[in-house]
Amino acid sequence: MRNDECIIRFLNKDGKVLQSFQKDREGWFQVSSKGIVRRCTAEQTLSHLLPPLAGVSQASVKVERIQKEA
């Protein structure tokens, strides 16, 4: 699976999506729980991903495969 074939979702303890990250042709972008879209670098995406994976954050991470648009 390639980076542009998945979406990374950060969930709170109730399963509500806090934010998500995706990659498209222009690079990575973040979508907030309010729908605000922000461009970000791969380093910024990684810095958000590492704390939940290390168990330092209360958020959980879910990665889903997405269908590519033709």
pLDDT band at 2 (very low <50, low <70, confident <90, very high): confident
Q: To the nearest whole percent, how much of the chain has pLDDT over 90?
A: 76
Q: Which residue range forms the structural domain that includes residue 47? A: 3-65
Q: Is residue 58 domain-resident?
A: yes
Q: What is the number of domains present in the chain?
A: 1
Q: Which two tokens stand for residue 53?
A: 């994976």
- Determine the pLDDT at residue 30: 96
Residue 70 lies in a domain: no
pLDDT tens figures, 8-36: 999 998 999 999 999 999 999 999 999 99
Phi and psi at 56, nearest 5°, equal: -85, -25
Sign of CA dihedral 15, 59, 46, 20: positive
pTM here is: 0.85
pLDDT beyond 90 at 67: no
